[in-house]
């Protein structure tokens, strides 16, 4: 399964983003959508779209979402939780910081695709590709826009 992971669109994204995420099996948006019309546009790409609510969102999307792909448990949130996770997951995906991340803490892999519209820390706009194989293999890569 190949998943396009985006975050922190804040009402906009580069016009070539939909073309860049063609071929995804799913699209995960990690919050701060700001304008729901963005989700309408992304849903036209075709694969299932899953979204969590960010601190700049005022819509009834879930604040946390769990997806299990080939027995790999993924927790989707907007802001990274402080301290240890209370619930078990293999991968925690978050946005909020606008800075890409790939880090293992206490056996949990923390991933952040950065921001497609307002990057920070000298990083270019970006999104992530998460690939989870039937053998539970996990690949993560950042694509610059």
Task: Tell me the domain boundaries of the chain.
Answer: 2-144
pLDDT of residue 86 exceeding 70: no
Three-class secondary structure of residue 40 per DSSP:
helix
pLDDT of residue 84: 59
- For residue 79, pLDDT over 80 is answered with yes
| Residue 23: per-residue pLDDT | 94
What kind of fold does domain 2-144 have according to CATH?
Answer: Purple Acid Phosphatase; chain A, domain 2 (3.60.21)
**What's the predicted TM-score (pTM) here?**
0.95
Provide the strand spans (E) within 2-145.
2-6, 26-29, 49-51, 64-69, 72-77, 91-93, 101-105, 108-112, 126-132, 138-144
Question: String of b and e for 112-132 (b: at least 16 CB within 10 Å)?
Answer: bbbbbbebeeeeebbbbbbeb
**Which residues on adjacent β-strands are paired with residue 127?**
143
Give residue 131's pLDDT.
98
Give the N- to C-terminal CA distance of the chain in Å, as an integer.
22
Pairing of strands 126-132, 138-144: antiparallel
Residue 3 has pLDDT above 70, yes or no: yes
């Amino acid at each position: 399964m190949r998943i396009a992971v985006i975050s922190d669109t804040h009402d906009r994204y580069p016009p070539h983003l939909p073309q860049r995420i063609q071929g995804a099996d799913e699209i995960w948006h990690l919050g701060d959508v700001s304008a729901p019309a963005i989700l309408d546009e992304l849903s036209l790409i075709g694969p299932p779209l899953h979204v969590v609510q960010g601190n700049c969102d005022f819509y009834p999307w879930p604040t946390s979402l769990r997806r299990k792909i080939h027995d790999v448990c993924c927790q989707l949130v907007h802001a990274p939780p402080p301290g240890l996770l209370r619930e078990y997951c293999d991968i925690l995906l978050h946005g909020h910081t606008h800075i890409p991340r790939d880090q293992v803490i206490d056996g949990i892999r923390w991933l952040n695709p950065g921001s497609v519209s307002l990057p920070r820390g000298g990083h270019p706009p970006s999104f992530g590709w998460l690939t989870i194989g039937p053998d539970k293999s996990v690949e993560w890569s950042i694509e610059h826009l």
